[in-house]
Amino acid sequence: MISTTIGPDGVAEVVMDRPPVNALTVTGWHDLAAALRAAGEDPGTRAVVLRAEGRGFNAGVDIKEIQADDGFGTLVGANRGCFAAFAAVYECPVPVIAAVHGFCLGGGIGLVGNADMIVASEDASFGLPEVDRGALGAATHLSRLVPQHKARAMMYTSATATAAELHAFGSVLEVVPRDRLAGRARELAGEIAAKNPAVIRAAKEAFNGIDLWDVRRSYRYEQGYTYELNLTGVAAQVRNTFGQD
């Protein structure tokens, strides 16, 4: 599901591969967090590329796993897993380049919103369908990708934005053909890897230190509303309609 390779140039590749849509289970989110932290903690790593195989980059949490649980254990696990994975991207000691193709939804927004750079294929689209799943979350990260009113509109309507739109906003660095995506992400990571590693690690830490967002606290605040919707039963009513259209 999650694999990691580190090249001789110090570029680590962390790859998600869970067919059919890269919707990660509770275990999958925690495995992703562990892989990202391990890559960043390796003194030989100079940059990380986060990408995926299959139809799209990431479709968020595995809703069916949550539906199969009569209690709240899986929901809590999924929320904690997402929190850990998003934090692992943000806190990685070296820059993380997200290479996005196809759909990037829900938890995928949390990953790329915390990345240092984003390269996207021409077919990539970004969105938060959380309100259609009886949940909230990752508005923190969407707001790092698009302007405030655009983010609100996307959240309330579940509309998606294209890679070209995000490129115009400046959050996607480059839009490339699908067959060039992985290669271009590695090229950019290689440019970073060729720099002095101590300086790059200091630069990453400095950028995080002056960030206007406290991404951990704001995302955790959002998660509180997801728990509230679940405790009141509203989330289950909405979630039980998932996949019936």
Judge whether 102 lies within some domain: yes
Question: Contacts from 217-221 at CB under 8 Å and sequence distance 24+?
Answer: 218/140, 219/83, 219/86, 219/110, 219/137, 219/138, 219/140, 219/141, 220/83
pLDDT reported for residue 199: 98
Across 49-56, average pLDDT: 98
Q: In 3-state terms, the chain is what percent helix, strand and coil (to 5)?
A: 50, 15, 30
The CA distance from 110 to 69, in Å, is 24
CA gap 109, 103 in Å, rounded: 10
The model's pLDDT over 113-144, given as tens digits with 9 standing for 90+, comes to: 999 999 999 999 999 999 998 999 999 999 99
When the pLDDT of each residue in the chain is averaged and rounded to a whole number, the result is 96
Residue 244 counted as domain residue: no
Q: Residue 228: what residue type?
A: E
**Which structural domain, as residue segments, surrounds residue 133?**
2-179+197-239
Structure letter (DSSP) for residue 24: B
Residue holding tokens 């009113």? Answer: 149
Domain count, the chain: 1
Residue 234 reports pLDDT greater than 80: yes
- Name the one residue in this structure whose structure tokens are 């300086």: 199
Say if 192 falls within a structural domain: no
Determine, yes or no, domain membership for 185.
no
Mean pLDDT of 29-52: 98
Average pLDDT over residues 170-184: 98
Whole-model pTM?
0.96
Give the pLDDT of residue 239: 80
Which CATH number characterizes residue 70's domain?
3.90.226.10
- Percentage of the chain with pLDDT > 70? 98
In a domain, 187, yes or no: no
Q: Which two tokens stand for residue 85?
A: 């994975």
Q: Report if residue 189 sits inside a domain.
A: no
Contacts for 211-218: CB closer than 8 Å, 24+ residues apart: 213/140, 213/143, 213/144, 215/86, 215/87, 215/90, 215/113, 215/114, 215/140, 215/141, 215/144, 216/83, 216/87, 216/90, 218/140
Is 244 a residue whose pLDDT tops 60? no
pLDDT score of 245:
44
Of 239 and 122, the structure prediction assigns the larger pLDDT to 122
Residue 94 domain-assigned (yes or no): yes
pLDDT (average), residues 215-227: 96
pLDDT exceeds cutoff 90 at 241: no
Indicate if the pLDDT at residue 23 is higher than 80: yes
Which amino acid type is present at position 53? E
